[in-house]
Amino acid sequence: MIRRMASHPGVWIAAGLWLVGYAVALGLARGHLPFDRPAVARLPFALQMAAPCITLVEIFVLTGLVLLLTRRRVIPDMLARTPVHRVALRETLLLLGYAAAGQVGGWVLGPALGYRPFSFHIAGTVFGCSVPPQRGEMWTWAIYNFVVFAVLPHAWFRRRYSNTQLNLRSVDRRNDALLIGVVILVESAFELVVFDHTLFSLSARQMLIAAPLTLTLFFIGTVLPTMILIYSILLPRYLALSGSRITAVLLGGLTYATMHLVEGWSDFSSPANVTLSLIFVLLQYFGPGMFKSVLTLRTGNAWVHALSYHIVSPHLIVDTPLVVRTFGILP
């Protein structure tokens, strides 16, 4: 596996672009990142810059753990679930165009309603924000993403493919459950160490009210859209078109990152800040997107990443305090 990765041209291209991105970001930042990210704003500049690399190292550790835990299971033949090359290419291009249109729609709809532009994340997700989203903003974002990126694509493709072909059914429930449990434990521990511990400052009442609300909002607003659009439909088509699991993992990571182009913490006040914002979106989300791809390719079940590496960690752990602020939940 390591030898194949080391010799794969896509890995070298990704590594080169990663280094170039860092070099450009260092030159533009000049010792300060202009982002609205209260959760990490007090960290030294060097640590803020290093954060994506730290996350990437943890992802490599998690990937090794997943490979270890799945070494004895029968890896599903995802290629057998995909259409012929010509159909896969057409479906991929059409779905990517649809996803781009859906993103633009969110950028337009949010400001039209007096909110911030919508992306795969609502403003304040993971990193917090100086002005938390309004209640209507959060619900509108979640419903828009759920309908546009989950309900409609699933309805369209479900007419032609079974849930197994869409990688939405487990073929090894015991191993899937083991993976979900282990990844939740490891990633939750990482999140609790890396991010501030505002979760522990909440009262029992706030936790009891906000935790289910957080699960609901982020499950329909980003977890299901991510799972359906990218890992249920696009990822197996990347595999069919490239014939390479490594290429599919890289493309899955890239797609996941580009679906977050307009984050709530981004700063578009100058060309330099625009460039910094786009670079950091790619650095921040490329690694997690790759790991979600690995989980899906190893299990043939897109639910595994959704339940183990998305809804609980980071969103339940990191974003419950955001929901408390948005909804004004008293202690």
Across residues 37-50, what is the average pLDDT? 91
Structure tokens at 147: 């309908």
* Span between the terminal Cα atoms of the chain, in Å: 51
Task: Identify the sign of the CA torsion 45, 12, 228, 152.
Answer: positive
The answer to whether 210 and 320 have CB atoms below 8 angstroms apart is: yes
How many Cα atoms are found within 13 Å in the side-chain-facing hemisphere of 93?
A: 6
**Does the pLDDT value for residue 6 go beyond 80?**
no
pLDDT at 191: 84
| Whole-number CA gyration radius for the chain | 19
Cα dihedral: 193, 195, 198, 204 (round 10) = -60
Condensed to tens digits (0 to 9), the pLDDT of residues 230-278 reads 999 999 999 999 999 999 999 999 999 999 999 999 999 899 999 999 9
Amino acid in the structure at residue 185? L
The answer to whether 127 and 283 have CB atoms below 8 angstroms apart is: no
**Does the pLDDT value for residue 1 go beyond 80?**
no
* Secondary structure letter of residue 78 according to DSSP: G
Instruction: Give me the number of domains the chain comprises.
Output: 1
The answer to whether 47 and 31 have CB atoms below 8 angstroms apart is: no
pLDDT at 190: 87
Q: What's the rounded Cα separation, in Å, for the pair 294 and 248?
A: 9
Q: In terms of residue numbers, what domain contains 25?
A: 2-327
Condensed to tens digits (0 to 9), the pLDDT of residues 270-308 reads 999 999 999 999 999 999 999 999 999 999 999 999 999
The answer to whether 218 and 312 have CB atoms below 8 angstroms apart is: no
Condensed to tens digits (0 to 9), the pLDDT of residues 93-128 reads 999 999 999 999 999 999 999 999 999 999 999 998
Residues found in the chain: 331
pLDDT at 142: 98
Q: What's the rounded Cα separation, in Å, for the pair 115 and 123?
A: 10
Q: How confident is the prediction for the chain on average, in pLDDT?
A: 94
pLDDT at 199: 80
pLDDT band of 2, cuts 50, 70, 90 = low
pLDDT band of 147, cuts 50, 70, 90 = very high
Across residues 207-236, what is the average pLDDT? 97
Condensed to tens digits (0 to 9), the pLDDT of residues 173-208 reads 999 999 999 999 999 988 887 765 678 889 999 999
